[in-house]
Structure 1
Amino acid sequence: MATETIKVTVDTVAFAVEQGALEVLLIKRKLEPFKSLWALPGGALEETDETLDQAAARELLEETNVGGVYLEQLYTFGDKGRDPRGRIVTAAYLALLRQEGLELKAGSKARGVAWWKVNELPELAFDHASIISYARQRVKYKLEYSPAAFMLLPEKFTLRDLQSVYEAVLGKAVDNRNFRKKFLNTGVLQELNETSQEGSFRPARLYTFSLEEFEKLPDKPVFMF
């Protein structure tokens, strides 16, 4: 009985929140299979001694020009039939980013690179729609017990900015008063003597997140909304 060769690839789900919407970074494929379809940035390991972490960082940089960001291994996807080229297992990674300051540039294997609203995705290559859905669910869980939301925010932000991140990831509105009360009671937000003008509304107070105060908490808060 012939032994089936299993190949390993990496893919990265890079999320950002822009104007209240959760967005994911995609590339437009230049090569078959799925030529001209949008897909997650990723590819095969190039060297025998290259680690999965190294490959994910390299592919993200080569295909989108995004580098130097924190990548967390998400899950391994290996169902038969997920890739028409044969049995290919992919290690998916998660990145939480801010779009400001990023200069996107498509690599040699891509026809384009762009942010897409998660709720308005085009037809995607491979099983990437399922991978994105899994990644979003993971981020929802992370918002409950970790400082993940602050990776999607600038250093200085308003309470409305913070609430917008939660609403974008959760895909629903949250109660304004309850949300603010929960966060302010934890002590992890440091109020600044600065304000931000939000449209026609009155100036809003700016805050920063204190990881030091978060780590001091004897019981980590559970931000469920």
Structure 2
Amino acid sequence: MAHPPFAVTVDLVVLTVRADELCVLLVRRGEEPFRGRDALPGGFVRPDEDLATAAARELAEETGLAVGHLEQLASYGDPDRDPRQRVVTVAHLALVPDQPVPTAGTDAAEARWVPVTQARGLAFDHDRVLADGVERARAKLEYTALGTAFCDGEFTVAQLRRVYEVVWGRALDPRNFHRKVTGTPGLLEPTGETTTRDGGRPAQLFRRGAAEQLHPPLLRADT
């Protein structure tokens, strides 16, 4: 039985916290299909590339940005997801601190950070991909230390708490959160310094600790 040809692409859900909002990196498509529509950065995998290399290249070409860690999110292969031909895409997720303004390139007419709440009507099936990426990010903040990926190298507990509030979309009790994150082994490492950047009394500065997984987890329902 002959197998029909198909192509492989990569798409990227790059999330950050900007101006107290969870934002996603989007490009305005400059070519058909869906010319003029917003979409996630991404494109076709070249014959000599692995998926991670293709994802990093497409991100750099379309937005001028680079991120340190990309993880595979999911694969999407509905037969009609791309009007050009049968295309299977492997989506990748990145959680990053506030980044510079992106610069559009290749087939992207524009690149910008957009609040997730305003990212609607995306090209292809990117609404679904984005929703899956946001839910993965929310879940990873429960069980892993990746909440600190949204922070600079040194941060206060209040700044970390604001990351969790923005990503989870709910207010958290400051004392309960402080007790949980400072009591979670390996999550935070004191720097020995303080700052008044949050206003009020000096607050202790932390950096990310060595823990990858959180035990116990910071469950949304309990935090």
Which residue is equivalent to 2:81? 82
User: Is the contact between residue 11 and residue 92 of structure 1 (CA under 8 Å) also seen in structure 2?
Assistant: yes
Deviation at 1:196, TM superposition (A): 3.0
Which residue is equivalent to 1:28? 28
Which residue is equivalent to 1:118? 116
Deviation at 1:82, TM superposition (A): 1.2
Question: 2:198 is matched by which residue type in structure 1?
Answer: E
Question: 2:216 is matched by which residue type in structure 1?
Answer: P
Which residue is equivalent to 1:152? 150
Give the alignment's TM-score, normalised by structure 1.
0.90
Give the alignment's TM-score, normalised by structure 2.
0.90
1:222 matched to 2:207? The reply is: no
Q: Any gaps of 5 or more consecutive residues in structure 1?
A: none
Most deviating of 168-177 and 33-42: 168-177
Q: 1: distance between equivalents of 2:153 and 2:27?
A: 28
1:45 matched to 2:64? The reply is: no
Instruction: Indicate the SS of the match to 1:82.
Output: coil
Deviation at 1:176, TM superposition (A): 1.9
Which residue is equivalent to 2:197? 197
1:65 matched to 2:60? The reply is: no
User: Is the contact between residue 65 and residue 103 of structure 1 (CA under 8 Å) also seen in structure 2?
Assistant: no
Instruction: Indicate the SS of the match to 2:61.
Output: helix
Q: Any gaps of 5 or more consecutive residues in structure 2?
A: none
Question: 2:195 is matched by which residue type in structure 1?
Answer: T
Q: 2: distance between equivalents of 1:42 and 1:10?
A: 5
Question: 2:181 is matched by which residue type in structure 1?
Answer: F
**CA RMSD, 1 decimal:** 1.9
Deviation at 1:81, TM superposition (A): 1.6
Q: 1: distance between equivalents of 2:144 and 2:72?
A: 16
User: Is the contact between residue 196 and residue 205 of structure 1 (CA under 8 Å) also seen in structure 2?
Assistant: no
Selected match of 1:127 from 125, 128, 148: 125
Selected match of 1:108 from 99, 106, 127: 106
Question: 1:105 is matched by which residue type in structure 2?
Answer: T
Q: Deviations over 1:171-205 (max 9, x none)?
A: 11122221111111124323332213225x44433
Most deviating of 13-22 and 54-63: 13-22
Q: 1: distance between equivalents of 2:103 and 2:6?
A: 31
Question: 1:72 is matched by which residue type in structure 2?
Answer: E
Question: 2:139 is matched by which residue type in structure 1?
Answer: Y
Selected match of 1:183 from 181, 184, 189: 181
Q: Deviations over 1:74-106 (max 9, x none)?
A: 110111221111211100001111224x35211
Question: 2:96 is matched by which residue type in structure 1?
Answer: L
Deviation at 1:118, TM superposition (A): 0.4
Which residue is equivalent to 1:209? 208
Question: 2:80 is matched by which residue type in structure 1?
Answer: G
Question: 1:181 is matched by which residue type in structure 2?
Answer: R
Q: 1: distance between equivalents of 2:166 and 2:103?
A: 26
Q: Deviations over 1:7-57 (max 9, x none)?
A: 1100011000113211100111000000011111100012x2211111111
